Every structure is written in C-alpha cells, then in structure tokens.
Amino acid sequence: MKYIYIEKPGEVALGEKPMPTAGEGEALLKLLYGGICGSDLGTYRGTFAYAGYPRIPGHEFSAEIVEIGSNGYGFEKGMVVTANPYFNCGTCYSCRRGYVNCCEHNETMGAQRDGAFCQYITMPVDRLFKSEGISPKHMALAEPFCIGYHGVKKADIKRGEKVLVIGAGTIGIVAAISAMKAGASVDICDVAEEKLEYAKCFGFDGYIKNGGDLEEQVAERTNGQGYDVTVEAVGLPQTFLNAIEAAAFAGRVIQIGVGKKNVDFDFTLLQKKELRVFGSRNAVKSDFIEVIDLFREGDIPLDRIVTNVYPFEKGAEAFRDFDRCSGKMLKVMIEF
C-alpha cells in the first residue's frame, strides 16, 4: 500500500510498505478522507511542539471497515467509522484518575506516533465510532470538531453569555459553533481579513480584525465589560495575551492553541480579575459521541468547513498549498 509521509520540514513524499494486519481486538480500515490538521501543517513547517521525523501525518479521518474479528462490539465489515486518535498509557496518574485525554505519555496519531495518511490502517475496535448515516467527508470532521467542542465545554457557558474566539481557523470556527450551540453570543477574531470574511457564512454575532485597536473593539462590543469567556485557538504569545486581556472580571479563558514560544506577561492580572484559566487538550469519548449526535441534527454547515479536497496522489501539493495559502483555506482534506 501507499502512504504519505513528512520526511523533514518542507518535504512530503509518497512511500510504499506492506499492508497492515489486524490483531486481536483491532479492525483493518480502508481510509476514505483525511483532514490536514494545524498540527500536521506545523509538522510540515517544523513549528509543531510535538513533531518528530520522518512522520506519517493525520489523525482526522473517516474509513471503511475491511476486516474485523468476531467480537466486533457492534461494528461490522463495510461500516464507515472514525476513531479517537489519542493513545494513552493507562498507567500514569492522569490515566488512573480517568483524565485519559491528558495522559502524561500521550501519543497522538500524526504527532508522537505515525498517523492515518495511509491507504489502510489498523485501529483498536474500542476507539471506533459509527458514522450513524453521516457522510464519510463529514465524519472526517468529527475529531477536529471535538477539539473545539471539548474546550468550550470546559467554560460551562450559560445562555446569553458573551464569548470571544481568537483564531478563525478550523478549530476556532468549530469552537465558535460549539459556543453558539451552547446559547452564547459569539464574536470571532483573526488577523486575516479573508478568514473573517469567510467566517461570516457561519452566522456568528461579530467579526473582529485583530490589530493594535483590539482593546477598543472589545470595549465597544461588550460595553466596556469584557467577554464572559475567551477562547484562544491560535497558539501564539500575543493571542494568549489577547485572551487574558479581553476577558471580563471573573471571566473564563480557554487555551486550545498549541505553540512553542514563551510569553512574558503581568500575571497579577489573573489575580486582579480572578480569572479561571483552563488548558484544553485532545478530547474524550463522550465528546465524539456528542459531536456525532450534533452532526446528525443536520443544522451545522459542515460543507462550508471543508474548503479544499485533494486526491491522495497529490498529498504533497495539498501541504504546499495549505502552507502558502493558509489564510484563504479552512479545512483541507485528502480523498483516499
């Protein structure tokens, strides 16, 4: 079979290796769609904190079950599925307390271990989720949607609260949709005019161009009070500071973005505002179940999240284009 791999920053190639064989408790899957995550793009650029090389990218995917053992836990050959790609050790302090999404030895597909961008992969059956009639292309959005959804859940949003999402990439968009689903008034913020313009098709309440006057815009949008919840979905020092500064007194800040740079800031602001700051890592089983249920309701414009689809053979081109034109692309997918 063929597979896509990142040999080193800036270099993507097609490789060939033997077909995998499903072991006990595993299913053999034929890939259908795979999304290029921001972390995959970071691995391509050499900026992702958890990257190693060479690396097969990909942890957002849909697939068809080709082979499965007799005890398939309700899964059958021919079913379309997605999967939880965060492998936890099961023995560390976090895992023993049930916080498997922040396992101390976490290995996410495409990051700390090879990912799904192969024509065939194997997965433990207990990590699979049925499509429930959702199209393969949309099922490949379940994992990235879960990232934003998991973070927003931490904020415990109340109906009518004001939320600012910083970053109008895929994770920012799905976090904003999740906050809107929770009943919030949602503004989204980005430095890229193109992203903000595209974000308007999702029907958020406000669109803020990030720049030197952000403080004034926040004051105008919130009557000088700040946002009840701010969500950082970029992973840069400045956007983290934006999230802290834009939060209201006694507000909540959700940190989803991943970066490699340090930040220097007046930490007393956390005490002065009595902010609750939450890190959000990965997602858990319940997030996948709830997000797939949301997809089935049919009122989330999933097709608008996917802006570009490339055939498998043009995987290198997909990464190059996404790298050069990320301000104009949202979710880039590879069709296997």
Closest CA to 57 of 4, 17, 16, 122: 4
Q: Which amino acid is at 277?
A: V
Give the C-alpha distances (Å, rounded to integers) separating 21 from 26, 29, 69, 88, 122. 9, 10, 12, 22, 7
Reported as a single tens digit per residue, the pLDDT across 97-155 is 999 999 999 999 999 999 999 999 999 999 999 998 999 999 999 999 999 999 999 99
The answer to whether residue 31 scores a pLDDT higher than 90 is yes
Average pLDDT of span 1-24: 96
Half-sphere exposure of 82 (CA within 13 A, CB side): 33
DSSP for 210-233, please give it.
-STTHHHHHHHHHTTS-EEEEEE-
Task: Look at the block and give the residue holding tokens 């957002």.
Answer: 60
pLDDT score recorded for residue 44:
96
pLDDT score recorded for residue 243:
98
Distance CA 330, CA 304 (A): 9
The answer to whether residue 256 scores a pLDDT higher than 90 is yes
Reported as a single tens digit per residue, the pLDDT across 274-290 is 999 999 999 999 999 99
- In the structure encoding, which two tokens stand for residue 268, read together? 């007393």
**Contacts for 188 with CB less than 8 Å, ≥ 6 apart:** 164, 165, 168, 172, 173, 176, 196, 199, 204, 206, 207, 208
Average pLDDT of span 231-258: 97
pLDDT score recorded for residue 47:
85
Reported as a single tens digit per residue, the pLDDT across 150-197 is 999 999 999 999 999 999 999 999 999 999 999 999 999 999 999 999
